[in-house]
Structure 1
């Protein structure tokens, strides 16, 4: 017997096999799907099983006689190839709407309309006026004017269809009516804003254009609650809007912000011992100069930017560029692997290259800033810059100290000693006007600690008792200076705690280093 029409004893006969679920699909109560010409369903193919039709259908309970056969629920498997039926439960459901007196698939009253779309499955669309949807709530923004006269608006619309529409034809010119555009300000504004750069002498002024920008952002947000087709048109056009040319003051402002980010990121990378997140290959911001700072003064409050403040920022940016190059040269993983294989001459060549750059920096920035700072009576903001300069010198020599033998590295050791002694003197002679000024605290706190850790490096690398005694004393002296400043200013407190944590690492007991066992 043909298995596609076989009758299983005690059950109804099936029609074509393709309408009957296989044994595996029947057990899972899922739809059995099999391509034409295939001997196995998709489930059995996926599981590499033989597709069989041996089991009898499930015994169905007798239905309530009061119910018709049309109301009886059908098994899922037998309905899997039938189109879905959707019953709308609202008051305007299709079973009622289909009785409307349609005229060309449209039924309309004064404030209600229904469209009958037979092409997409006998669907009905109900439309009501905007007033019923509260599309313009009381807080809907007031549209600004477009130019001083109606001729300006007409010129912009003509320009739109002559230029914009030729490249981006999403509107239907035959359906555009000026009076309807007046009621649909977002679409009108988007069209005029796009056309304005191409109109003669820019029909809309810069002030009017900025006003329309604010209006478009507010109105489109409001209309998105109940969008119309015009809302989508206006939004799509608004996405094509032109960017405004930045004023010089705004360009300078962005340059200052970019370099402020660059400075903080580079010094935080040094202090945290992590790779820098800003690559020089992706950095093309113009080098910040004093000219990028405004010399205008707030007339009401007398606020302004002094020349020394602008010069200090520019100097810090230039010093950070040196640091940016130094980090991958000495403190990256690849650098750590390659430095150990360099000869003494190669290491000294790297050191002298950066010594030259730091010397040029000192001549260009530090000496002029020192003379400017002498005139500061109340606050001297130069402490952050000078501390960063001493720190950069110290980490330069620290980077190669471990790779140069003690008998041939006397130059580096002597230079490191000189730099650290200058740093101690800088800390000792910090003036009240410097300590009271604002420090760039995220990395200034760590820079004080880095200088102390380099002193510990020198102590660890000491080769004789005199040198050990010298650096032990110098670390204690430096800590005492930090502690004396911390009594009134917290910029040095972190460095004190870091030094105390490092004492056992060097093999020195706290009692061996003067002042090291005192509390902060």
Structure 2
């Protein structure tokens, strides 16, 4: 559908910058610089000669061992995968959608007819007569998403001499708990030079705290901060022409350890989550790709990424008390399963259970935390809440693994407890007097089970990023029940659970940063209750931002 490109004579040489970038060198009449150099405010020079292409010697092909030659030619995948949407060939694919000025039904009818937007082609990716799925393929340079400093080599240089150890740590610690990357695909893209600098930098930054050699962690702290700063600046620009690697990099960026624990929304998490969902929708990740004319590997990747985004959005929505960006009517991606994963890492099954819990969470957010839902009668809220609690218990019984690694299992048990107690709290506040008697014993049981799980837990590994908020929510829910229970029969039982939880948080805070926010919030609540009740609650030393910042500086060698 694209218009025919205007003839350009070979005499019109590209400038040195455009030649290095292998991009079109466009110059307006009577201008002394091309558009690319004007945009970057740099000189436009013509000193470089044509870049010579390296060609293999003919004798290598003729004399090569036939077996090796067949192995080398096996990637007949390359021509077959020209139908992929993630090509890394200077083109960016954006989902057309259904309501804009580019009508997919009309585009399907007119086929490959030329369009008004030069350089853009439209690809029909399914054969459905009901809903045509069309993608617009734009030259990436038209969208100007990447500055000239995007150099993978510079990112890899910052990771030396521990790059291999970093990548091994990433896949053994991070990816085994949060299965976002396919190991074989990653190394293939790294060899081919198609990995993005932002994704590689995000992997390094997330993995570095878990390096076995802690002296290297401290020695190279400045390099990790530089890489983190690079991704913070580069990703918003890259989202102008997102790829699936951009989405992966953003998800990992959201899982970076915070430098200072001040608030659950650290730093700009909700805004970054909104950008993440927007990038996914531009790529069409919210539409089920099964049956599309794209490689199976890309179909599986699109499905995995969508559910990672779905889970992230819902738990951030709960923790930050914000309306979710994703609604059930706006996506069609089917249920995810183990068949969508090529690598069988321990975190896969845990993540599949997390998706099931998140669907219950989505209903909780819709039924209890929208503006209109706050006006529902107490009896109706009680019925809805009990139904959700029963579903949570059923997921626990049917899908929670009996034995599993501590990493993803700890995040999963925490998520289940957070969801159950949030549901109890939601019912409680509709009518405290009427609902407390029915809910107290059930909520107390959730707290007791979780405290037993935490007691003696030795784990300084990778936690899902919403775990920090979840620990804090659990503490708030416990204190909410305890405050109401002070004048009731089970007041001492609730006090005991809150005390036990506080001790568990304190013990875990010596191993990981994840419980620090919850500890700060719980101490602050304790202090307020003590003042209100005149000393019935043991006095606690409230951790302050300055205390934690000082500890962070000391731990990082400053």
Using structure 2 for the length normalisation, give the TM-score. Answer: 0.47
Between Structure 1 and Structure 2, whose CA radius of gyration is higher? 1
Higher relative contact order (Cα pairs below 8 Å, separated by 6+ residues) = 2
Using structure 1 for the length normalisation, give the TM-score. Answer: 0.50
